[in-house]
Amino acid sequence: MAEKVYLAVDLGAESGRVMAGIWNGKKLRLEEINRFPNGGVYLGETFRWDVMRLWAEIQNGLGLAGKKFGKKIVSVGADTWGVDFVLLNKQDEILGQPYHYRDARTRGALERTFKKVPRAEIFAQTGLQFMELNSLYQLLAWKEHSPAILDAADTLLFMPDFLHWAMCGAKRAEFTIASTSQFVHPLKRDWSLPLLKKLGLPTHFLPKIVQPGTTLGKFRKSLADRTGLAGVKVVAPPSHDTASAVAGVPTANTGKANWAYISSGTWSLMGVEVKKAVLSPRAMELNMTNEGGIDDTYRLLKNIMGLWLVQQCKRSFDAAGKKYDYAQLAAMAAKAKPLRSIVNLNDPRFLNPPDMPKAIQEFCRETKQPIPKTEGELVRCAYESLALKYREVLGSLEELTGEQIEVIHIVGGGSQSQLLNQFAADACQRPVVTGPIEATAMGNLLTQVKADGELGSLAEMRDVVRASSSVQRYEPSAWSEAADRFAELKN
């Protein structure tokens, strides 16, 4: 068959890219078209996203793809991180500069919200874990400081939905990204309007929810003229990047709960794939989340503060004139003394500190542990703490599903960290299979291939992932009493 090309716009918290997927009927070959940096921007006392710059970079990538592949291009779809959104008025003007989920305005929002609606009721209505950064608390923050903007809003679009609107004009909320908001009902698969009304939040701006694989329309004429992509369709992939990443896991066990995944990047999203949201009191007690997936699946998972600690340590090292790359930092960590200092990743001081090494050192000082001082000691502390958190979450997943997890798949950019992969196998005492690095782009692109009629199911998509990528396997070796020490830090 003649080759077809599909384009993925994939935005992470640290970088974004436009990727091409070249499909020959059996395998998908990926080609990076345009990569660009991402990150929050301080504006006054606030932390925001520069969506105009991101959209400019995306258009550059689309134009480059148009020049290279021309009429071979079938469709485009966007995925991004969760929870953040853009507000448009009736004239399609952006209201306010979109906030970054790490902005401080939602601090203390959980306690204030629980005074209005009990935690158990919110969980029953949403199935989501409680994090101050969730869209629900961001909306409440808007209501507290800028209610007039909420009143003027005509449409709320999550980040990938905003990009789809910019491409084709469609105002829709794709299900997997909407499910990160904490105001989508996990059984009805629609907005939890009673919850929002009980919290005094407006609902008039919520668009219709559509499923991944939905064709949203064709490129705006002006965009098609600028990029040379006339007639190209916009197809909603699993628009939450983790949902696309999980779709890109190369497992042969689709439909079973005997494997777990970790989408490893700035965040580590660790979970299992289930057919029905788990809404038990124990799931709420463990602060687990149920987010939407492709083909009517749910992702029972835990958000874990992932490589953010290492990324922010590197940022501090760079500022001090010690410019190491990640491979150099991993090599230094490998030489540091093992299991010397461990931090609790749930501690709010790690969310967005001005100096991550100092935050780690303060925690270790307060918990009477040896204080990591060198770059290697700090990075090793972050890696080992993360691996031990994986072990804790693994136990929670097995408890909630009643299934023993036999293997852990690590996908995404963080799967390149060989030291962390081995620590994960050691801490969890399970084999770890890593790759593909570009699982998110794979899941995004293969959903478009499926929407084009080339594939029939999620299992078939994963067959293509296995045929199109290579993996690496890590076998566990024993760790000492580290898990017990890690558990003590939570108390």
What are the pLDDT digits (tens) for 345-389?
Answer: 989 899 889 999 999 999 999 999 999 999 999 999 999 999 999
| Alpha-helical segments (H) within 294-408 | 308-319, 326-335, 356-366, 375-401
Name, in order, each residue with C-beta under 8 angstroms of 59's C-beta and a sequence gap of 6 or more.
223, 226, 227
* N-term to C-term CA, the chain: 60
pLDDT in the model for residue 484 = 66
22-69 pLDDT tens trace: 999 999 999 999 999 999 999 999 999 999 999 999 999 999 999 999
**What share of the chain in percent tops pLDDT 70?**
97
CA 427 → CA 189, 384, 478, distances in Å? 36, 8, 8
Assign 210 to helix, strand or coil.
strand
How many C-beta atoms surround the C-beta of residue 105 within 10 A? 18
**What share of the chain in percent tops pLDDT 90?**
95
Assign 425 to helix, strand or coil.
helix
pLDDT in the model for residue 482 = 63
Whether 463 is a known active-site residue: answer no
249-291 pLDDT tens trace: 999 999 888 999 999 999 999 999 999 999 999 999 999 999 9
Residue for token digits 């580590």?
Answer: 268
331-346 pLDDT tens trace: 999 999 999 999 999 8
| Alpha-helical segments (H) within 214-261 | 221-227, 241-247
Mean pLDDT of 90-97: 96
Tell me the CATH number for domain 245-435+471-491: 3.30.420.40
pLDDT in the model for residue 481 = 59
- Confidence check: pLDDT of 20 > 60: yes
The domain 4-235 is classified under which CATH number: 2.40.50.1070, 1.10.10.10, 3.40.718.10, 3.30.420.40?
3.30.420.40
Question: Kind and range of the H or E element at 281?
Answer: helix 281-285
Assign 208 to helix, strand or coil.
strand
How many C-beta atoms surround the C-beta of residue 269 within 10 A? 27
- Cis peptide bond prior to 372, omega within 30° of 0: no
- Tokens standing for residue 65: 């793809």
Distance CA 35, CA 103 (A): 25
pLDDT in the model for residue 479 = 79
pLDDT in the model for residue 260 = 98
In this structure, what DSSP letter does residue 483 have?
Answer: H
Per the CB < 8 A criterion, the answer to whether 82 and 180 are in contact is yes
Residue for token digits 């694989």?
Answer: 213
Q: Name which of 284, 116, 312, 279 is nearest 185 in CA terms.
A: 279
- Tokens standing for residue 239: 């628009």
pLDDT class of 478 with cuts at 50, 70, 90:
confident
Inter-axis angle of helices 418-428 and 375-401, nearest 10: 40
394-452 pLDDT tens trace: 999 999 999 999 999 999 999 999 999 999 999 999 999 999 999 999 999 999 999 99
* Phi, psi of 3, rounded to the nearest 5 degrees: -65, 145
| The model's pTM | 0.91
Question: Of these residues, 241, 296, 347, 452, which one is catalytic?
Answer: 241
pLDDT in the model for residue 255 = 87
Q: Please, where in the chain does CATH 3.30.420.40 lie?
A: 4-235, 245-435+471-491
* Interior/surface letters 316-325, b for 16+ CB within 10 angstroms, e for the rest: bbeeeeeebe
- Confidence check: pLDDT of 487 > 70: no
* Beta pairing, strands 432-434 & 407-411: parallel
- Tokens standing for residue 354: 């001005």
